[in-house]
Each structure stands twice: as structure tokens, then as C-alpha cells.
């Protein structure tokens, strides 16, 4: 379906946070998705994915995760300096600040007239996969997708150590995790640790997928992009969300 885009500003902890919002053009009451970028914020590879998801019948709200440290609208280039800049931003942002952002976006989605507040989910990539996992700890989320999530195994997502994985039993909705077997940021040992900890919560509805792909294999602007694996993962993501939210 066709979509429309808008920009929304939210104030969180006295900082202006920009939301990139994509939604169906058709009138309706759609599921809402908190959509997290990787460390490069809202560049075109991420907004294209947000747009594509909106076209499946969702109101997608993507926050600038480093709004406390970067100028409004800043997009970080995915090069060597950009990686350093993004990782520095991540390391200097308190975990509580990420949680406050999630609460603000979910509150905004729930209050939007085009969103069904009883059908909320989260999707995220890289650091955003970890942040989506944390968002999934909130009881109102019905579905969470974590795509090559970094730092779950050791709590590295911001300043201090996050307790995300240890709190997995708090997740009440369904969970989908996606990994790449060639990902140096989530190697096999870390991946196995994450999955074993999740499996220790038998009441959690969890499915995991492993592709022969590298980190960021769904970004269509770099050498690690794998179109075939990205398309396969996308089909699984949309099927999962449709089953849980539609």
C-alpha cells in the first residue's frame, strides 16, 4: 500500500528527539512499531526499511537514538570515522536515557489516532536490536524483532552495564531474533549464550533465525549487504509481525 511520511519532535529529558514517521495513506487504525536504527541513525538505508514496513500496514516511528549528543537530523556516515563516532555516542548515552526514549515513542504511538494502542511492537538493527529487546520488556509490546543485536551477551549498549538479557523473563510478547553466522560483533559463543539464556524462559514465545551473512547484512549501502539473505529475513520479519499484530 502507499505511504506518507512526516517528522515529529518529542521532548525527552529536556532534549528534542526527532521521529521519522511512515504510515499508510489509507485511513485506518494500524499497529504501531517502534523502529530502531543502527549506530548511524536515520540514513536512507534505514528509512527505506521503515517505509517498506509501513507499506505492509503499520505506523512506523523511528527515533534519532543519539539526540542528546548529535545535532537534530544528523546522519552518521557508515565509514571508519562514522563507526567511531557512532560507538562513542552509544557508549556515552546512559541506558536509562534509551529507556526514556522508548517510553516517549510508545506513548506517542499509543496516543496517535491512526494507531491501535493494543497492537504495538518494536524492530531494531545492531544497537537498535538491543534497544528493541529492552523495549520488549515493557508489557504493552506484543511483538519484538531483534536483528543482529549487539551487546546482549555482555550488557554493552550505553554507559554502564545493561541488564537486558538477565530480564528476558519480563518479555510478555513474542520475540524474533535474527543473527548472521559471519557476524564478528555477535560471534557464535555470544550468540549461543544469548539463545541459551532466552531458552531458560520457557514461557517466552521465541523464534530465532541464523543466516550465512555478516553484520548489517540488511543495509543496502555497504559491502556486507546480502540481498538474498536480506530478502529472506524481510519475509520472516513481516510474517512474524503479521501473525502477532494483524
Could you tell me the CATH number of the domain that includes residue 107?
3.40.50.1820
- Among candidate residues 38, 215, 226, 229, the one labeled active-site is 215
In this structure, what DSSP letter does residue 246 have? -
Q: Is the pLDDT of residue 121 over 90?
A: yes
- State yes or no: is 146 an active-site residue: no
pLDDT in tens, 25-39: 999 999 999 999 999
Active site residue 112: no
> Which among 122, 120, 103 has a CA at the least distance from the CA of 176?
122
CA atoms of 58 and 44, how far apart (whole Å) = 19
Q: Which domain holds residue 213?
A: 3-245
Q: Which of 38, 112, 126, 229 is catalytic?
A: 126
Report how many domains make up the chain.
1
183-239 pLDDT per residue, tens: 999 999 999 999 999 999 999 999 999 999 999 999 999 999 999 999 999 999 999
183 belongs to the catalytic site: yes
Amino acid at each position: 500500500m502507499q505511504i506518507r511520511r512526516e517528522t515529529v519532535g518529542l521532548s525527552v529529558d529536556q532534549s528534542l528527539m526527532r521521529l521519522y514517521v511512515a504510515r499508510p495513506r489509507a485511513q485506518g487504525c494500524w499497529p504501531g512499531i517502534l523502529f530502531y536504527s543502527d549506530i548511524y541513525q536515520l540514513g536512507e538505508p534505514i528509512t527505506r526499511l521503515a517505509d517498506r514496513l509501513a507499506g505492509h500496514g503499520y505506523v512506523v516511528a523511528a527515533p534519532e537514538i543519539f539526540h542528546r549528543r548529535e545535532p537534530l537530523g544528523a546522519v552518521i556516515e557508515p565509514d571508519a570515522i562514522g563507526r567511531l563516532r557512532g560507538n562513542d555516542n552509544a557508549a556515552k548515552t546512559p541506558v536509562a536515557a534509551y529507556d526514556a526514549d522508548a517510553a516517549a515513542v510508545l506513548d506517542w504511538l499509543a496516543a496517535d489516532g491512526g494507531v491501535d494502542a493494543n497492537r504495538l511492537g518494536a524492530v531494531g538493527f545492531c544497537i537498535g536490536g538491543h534497544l528493541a529487546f529492552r523495549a520488549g520488556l515493557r508489557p504493552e509490546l506484543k511483538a519484538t524483532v531483534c536483528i543482529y543485536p549487539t551487546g546482549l551477551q555482555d550488557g554493552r549498549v550505553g554507559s554502564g552495564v545493561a541488564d537486558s538479557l538477565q530480564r528476558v523473563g519480563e518479555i510478555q510478547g513474542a520475540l524474533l531474533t535474527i543473527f548472521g553466522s559471519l557476524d564478528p560483533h555477535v560471534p557464535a559463543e555470544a550468540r549461543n549464550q544469548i539463545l541459551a539464556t532466552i531458552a531458560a524462559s520457557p514461557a517466552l514465545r521465541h523464534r530465532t533465525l541464523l543466516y550465512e551473512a555478516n553484520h548489517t547484512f540488511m543495509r543496502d549501502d555497504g559491502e556486507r549487504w546480502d540481498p538474498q539473505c536480506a530478502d529472506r529475513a524481510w519475509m520472516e520479519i513481516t510474517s512474524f509481525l503479521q501473525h502477532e499484530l494483524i
